[in-house]
Amino acid sequence: MERIAMTIGAERRPGASTFTSIDPYTGEPWAEVAEATERDVADAVRAARTAFEGEWGAMPGRERARLMRRLAEVIADSADDLALCETRDNGKLLREMSGQVRGLPAWYDYYAGLADKISGRVVDTGRPDFFGYVTRQPAGVVAAVLPWNSPLLLLTFKLAPALAAGCTMVAKPSEHAPVSILRFAELMERAGFPPGVFNTVSGASRQVGEWLVADPGVDRVSFTGSDVTGAAVARSAAAHLAPATLELGGKSANIVFADADLEAAANGVIAGIFAASGQTCIAGSRALIQDEVYDEVVERVARRAATITMGDPKDPATEMGPICFPGQLDKILRFVETARADGATIRTGGGDRGMGGLFFEPTIITDVAPDAAVCREEIFGPVLSVLRFEDEKEAVAIANDSRYGLAAGLWTGDVRRVFRLVKALDVGTVWVNAYRTLNYAMPFGGVKDSGFGRENGLEGLDEYLEDKAVWIETTGDTRDPFVLG
């Protein structure tokens, strides 16, 4: 087994102890990963601070952009190894992880293009004796706490704009998928970034993330994960007044109207919930289908779900790999069994097709009430709840009747309906006649219990910048010190 160290400043730290990363497909350990101590975390934050106040902080945007473009080249050269790390860690398809990793250079190129274009503005102060302007400065040291389902992609959502802004970072990967993030730190060094710009702390203990978020040397926190953990992260960050960006869970609705291209819609429903074995925050885990086409669409989706190929995620023919870890599989099973006990119909799936291990087959649940747990809670697995609706009003009411508000899919041939529903749906992203696509230039994030703040796009850069107001007195006159103005 490989032994994977953390990167703290210029140092590779093996950890006082280690924990094991298990390949979800084989069930075998494949890497020994460093376990951070509280001192390691404090040292990582200090290293990030030193870089921010030193060489990196003094570096002009043009030079930051040059290093980011070099990083993009290094990532492209290492894409195969990084993708394999992620597949061995989380069990997702190698072809999907390869696609994600090969797409990362575009994020760094995009934000490199913004690194030397961060500008302020001159403000009319309303007074002839003052010149006023606003400048934008990097927020400082960022703590990034990452999930296990797409580690490098979701790191990049945070790191690329943070680097463009001039921030430094300490990243804590999930204990279920740590290896690619720790390997990525080596690429940062290879690309020529100064020590301390990007640091990693890993651990099987939840304390590692808690120590990081609570460190008073952290200026910003960016978290991706569950809403329960996100709330705890926000409270911890707020204790030392560090703002947090939270990208949390979802229970997204994929809404199919009778006038939609039903073949495309059924394919979009499949993509929304069964791609990545449903282990994605944007999963379209609720299918809302209009009465007139309900039976036909359910039949199309069920027929395709029954033929999805499960197996080795490294095999190009595989369409669904295993669930990431046993606790997640147990959670999925509990939701399905509860739905069955409550009288719902398991139209297809509900088991492992005899494959054993961490496999769970594509599952479609019908005859389920909108207030059932399977329709309201994020399952994070290949489980689709199907609901009927009569008209637009009912579709919007069902879709919005959720504590989450991350995304929605809308399938229709009526362009006027598109504009009406895009406005009415209470979510951060709406896909029209498509599902599950992302891009560096489009902001991403949710409302309600799906979190706050945005990643990607110009909005993502704003999360890592502070506005500073500057007033310059221009006359040299003395004014009354007891009067505001």
**Which residues are marked as active site?**
247, 281
Share of the chain residues as helix, strand and coil, in percent rounded to the nearest 5: 40, 20, 35
Letter for the amino acid at 284? G
CB atoms within 10 A of CB 355: 13
Q: 484: helix, coil or strand?
A: coil
Q: Which of 147, 296, 290 is nearest to 225 (CA)?
A: 147
Residues in the chain: 485
Q: What does the alpha-carbon distance between residue 13 and residue 37 come to, in Å, rounded to a whole number?
A: 11
* Beta strands 141-145; 168-172: pairing state: parallel
On whether the CB atoms of residues 265 and 421 are closer than 8 A, the answer is: no
Q: What does the alpha-carbon distance between residue 273 and residue 254 come to, in Å, rounded to a whole number?
A: 9
CB atoms within 10 A of CB 243: 16
CB atoms within 10 A of CB 466: 15
Q: 146: helix, coil or strand?
A: coil
361 vs 68, 148, 306, CA distance in Å?
Answer: 41, 20, 9
Phi, psi (deg, nearest 5) at residue 433: 55, 35
Sign of CA dihedral 76, 462, 125, 131: negative
Q: What does the alpha-carbon distance between residue 137 and residue 27 come to, in Å, rounded to a whole number?
A: 47
Tokens matching residue 52: 């921010």
Letter for the amino acid at 176? H
Distance of CA 46 to the CA centre of its chain: 26
Tokens matching residue 16: 């006082």
Where b means 16+ CB within 10 Å and e means fewer, 117-141 reads: ebeeeeeeeeeeebeeeeebebbbb
On whether the CB atoms of residues 145 and 221 are closer than 8 A, the answer is: yes
Q: What does the alpha-carbon distance between residue 400 and residue 92 come to, in Å, rounded to a whole number?
A: 30
